[in-house]
Amino acid sequence: MALPVMVRAALPAVPVVNQLPGIKKTGGSLPDVTLRRDDVAVERTQVERYAAVCGFPNKDVAPVPYLHMLAFPLHMELMTDARFPFPAIGSVHLENTIVEHRPVAIGESVSLALQATNLRASTKGRAWDMNVTGTVGDEVVWESTSTYLRVGKGDKENGDPGMSLDAVDVKGPVWSLPDNLGRRYAAVSGDRNPIHLYPLTAKALGFPRHIAHGMWSKAACIAALENRLPDAVKVEVAFKKPIFLPGKARFGAEETANGWSFALVSPKSGAPHLLGRTTSL
């Protein structure tokens, strides 16, 4: 997230300033627009930097979640647009689904298109989807849906309760997450949301200290399963409780009829940070 984008993201959270025309967020409908990044090269040096932070081996193809990094500027461009109804800062990344139709090779160029859809009542506020389609030429190779939540007055009876995922009996390794993990991931992903960077910047936004990126957590879980996943796969996750940095998290996975169920939990309490599943396509 470049500095001008960070400023645009932050302004709707600044009192008085957030009432100015072009900055004020109205909570209305989603803009009917498609944003694009065309012919983005999948470069080995960038893929390997990402892989090192998330725990993937170096290969001649990009890791399953890597294209999310290439699409992230589109997420921020749309959410900082004056027409977008909700502020970027304070919107919660609730769920993420990635469908990889085939691995994307190092050196290929991918075109990405993003649309925001399905604004709806949630049990905890209002939710919407950011849908990305990645193509190589005319071939759809990768898709994602990131569900965001604006916490507010929810509809407890009829609102969307979110993704239903099976619990996992987590008995795997405990991961130690260093204090600088958010800054390291920000450097490779471009996601420099202040809640992930330093205790001081996180406290300014209501957190006791900084937290790990949800998409780092998802990527690390995929990396732990990487050698057991097929080339064509769907990976769905629901983000639960944040992981404060520095911190620890325990990973576990169970094989299912058509993939894996997995989780990342607190080693002390067992409370889930992330629940997920993979499905072979």
pLDDT tens digits along 66-102: 999 999 999 999 999 989 999 988 899 999 999 999 9
Q: What is the pLDDT of residue 16?
A: 41
Span 123-137, pLDDT tens digits: 999 999 999 999 999
User: Which residue type sits at 202?
Assistant: A
Distance CA 256, CA 204 (A): 42
Q: Residue 7 has which token pair? A: 């400023």
Please state, in angstroms and as integers, the Cα–Cα distance from residue 265 to each residue in 53, 113, 162, 197, 217, following that order.
20, 33, 19, 22, 11
Tell me the percentage of the chain whose pLDDT exceeds 90: 84
The length of the chain, given as a count of residues: 281
Asked if residue 36 lies in contact with residue 111, where contact means CB atoms within 8 angstroms, the answer is yes
Whether 121 shows a pLDDT value over 70: the answer reads yes
CB-based contact 11:79 (threshold 8 Å): no
Closest to 141 (Cα-Cα) out of 93, 215, 70: 70
Average pLDDT over residues 267-281: 97
**Residue 104 near residue 141, CB atoms below 8 Å:** yes
What pLDDT digit, counting tens, does each position of 175-226 carry?
999 999 999 999 999 999 999 999 999 999 899 999 999 999 999 999 999 9
Q: What angle do CA 224, 76, 274 make, to 5 degrees?
A: 30
Specify the pLDDT at position 101: 98
More confident residue, 223 or 155: 223
Contacts of residue 129, Cβ cutoff 8 Å, sequence gap at least 6: 116, 117, 118, 145, 146, 147, 148
Give 113's pLDDT tier (boundaries 50, 70, 90): very high
Strand order of the β-sheet with 139-151 is 35-41, 109-121, 125-136, 139-151, 92-100, 233-239, 272-280, 259-265, 247-256, 174-177
Q: Give CA–CA dist 105/128, Å, rounded.
A: 31
Q: What is the pTM of this model?
A: 0.92
Look at 204 and 112; give whichever has higher pLDDT: 112
Q: Which two tokens stand for residue 45?
A: 């040096």
| 107 token code pair | 């050196």
Strand partners, 99: 143, 234
Checking if the pLDDT of 11 tops 60, the result is no
- Tell me the pLDDT band of 153, cut-offs 50, 70 and 90: confident
What is the predicted pLDDT for the residue at 133? 98
Strand, coil or helix: what is 6? Answer: helix
Pick the closest to residue 23 from 85, 90, 114 (CA basis).
Answer: 85
Mean pLDDT taken over the chain: 92
